[in-house]
Amino acid sequence: MTEIFGIPLQAFAGQLLLGLVNGSFYAMLSLGLAVIFGLLGIVNFAHGALYMVGAYVAWFSVEKWGLGYWGALVLAPVIVGALGVVIERTLLKHLYKLDPLYGLLLTFGLALIAEGLFRDQFGVSGQQVNVPEALQGATNLGFMVLPNYRAWVVVASLAVCLGTWFLIEKTRLGATLRAGTENPALVQAFGINVPRMVMFTYAGGAALAALAGVLAAPVIQVTPLMGSNLIIVVFAVVVIGGMGSILGSILTGLMLGLVEGLTKVFYPEASNIVVFVIMAIVLVIRPAGLFGKEK
């Protein structure tokens, strides 16, 4: 069997793929965080909780409601997006004139509420969501056996990320959004309903998080704690990438997923902390982040 640095190629490629899968989730979540922060000036701690809710919608959809995985893929972003609308309208809109720290604290509170509610219902043990039939099995690529579902996760999240990038950077709607980030008062003066745009932006970011949750549900254990464990890593990803650029967020997310996968192969003990170590190094060398602009 072929080996790379004494590691069987199959194991090596498997870990890399797992890293890429995790990287896709980092990319989708940090993308949503960046868009929300850009327009609302709020660092959405609840992003992890929204991702968790998305994964539970997948579980309900498959196990209880009989709508299956594909139904969840549509349903979860809609439900969580609607939840986002409610959160923005009732809570977040009171904070826009305040120090951004309050936004972080409020969404932290929301994350605690969501986590507590789900823990009360489901305990801390995980729920299993089965891989949909169409994506079961694996393809033999010669050098490795590629599980179809994992390939789907990477392809689907890349498509979603690039779609979001296209929407924001290349369409008229995106141009308005970017203008709103720069100068909301002026955009409002042009007759655009900025508060409504803000609301839909938050809902969109929430829907992205939910979508990531559905994609993640069959590859991980769905637990109430899955969101908060992930969101801290995503924060580190955001600090490394800098929140300035959309493509930057996507690239950083994927890259760090890969690095994490590699660490699992060569030095598993450090795989939990490697992202934080990289964050510290990046902060020392380039405080604004890899793709950030120094202000």
Which residues are at the interface with another protein (CB under 8 A)? 37, 43, 91, 94-95, 98, 100-102, 104-106, 108-117, 119-120, 228, 232-233, 235-236, 238-239, 269, 272-273, 275-277, 279-280, 283-284, 287
Nearer to another protein, 113 or 138 (CB): 113
CA-CA distance, 250 to 208, in Å (whole number)?
13
Nearer to another protein, 178 or 286 (CB): 286
**Nearest approach, Cβ of residue 222 and another protein (Å):** 17
Q: Which is nearer to another protein, 145 or 273 (CB)?
A: 273
Nearer to another protein, 42 or 76 (CB): 42
CA–CA distance, 52 with 217 (Å, rounded to integer) = 9
Give the nearest distance from C-beta 48 to another protein in angstroms.
Answer: 11
Half-sphere exposure of 1 (CA within 13 A, CB side): 12
Nearest approach, Cβ of 127 to another protein (angstroms)? 16
Least distance between another protein and beta carbon 103 (Å) = 8
Q: Which is nearer to another protein, 116 or 195 (CB)?
A: 116
Q: Which is nearer to another protein, 138 or 283 (CB)?
A: 283
Minimum CB–partner distance for residue 97 and another protein (Å): 12
Q: How far is the CB of 45 from another protein (least distance, A)?
A: 9
Burial 38-51 (b: 16+ CB within 10 A, else e): bbbbbbbbbbbbbb
For Cα atoms 281, 245, 99, give the angle at the middle one, nearest 5 degrees. Answer: 80
Whether residue 100 contacts residue 41, with contact meaning beta carbons closer than 8 Å, is answered with: yes
Using only the alpha carbons of the chain, give its radius of gyration: 19
Nearer to another protein, 68 or 100 (CB): 100
* Size of the chain, expressed as the number of residues it contains: 295
Q: Using CB atoms within 10 A of its CB, is residue 5 exposed (0-12), middle (13-18) or buried (19+)?
A: exposed
Instruction: State both tokens at 154.
Output: 């990477």
Q: Which is nearer to another protein, 108 or 152 (CB)?
A: 108
Among 39, 53, 18, 17, smallest CA distance to 208 is for 53
CA distances from 269 to 257, 258, 274 (A): 16, 16, 10
Closest approach, Cβ 267 to another protein, in A, equals: 12
Q: How far is the CB of 186 from another protein (least distance, A)?
A: 24
What sign results for the dihedral spanned by CA atoms 282, 285, 288, 290? negative
> Residue 156 is which amino acid?
A
Per-residue tokens: 65: 């409601």
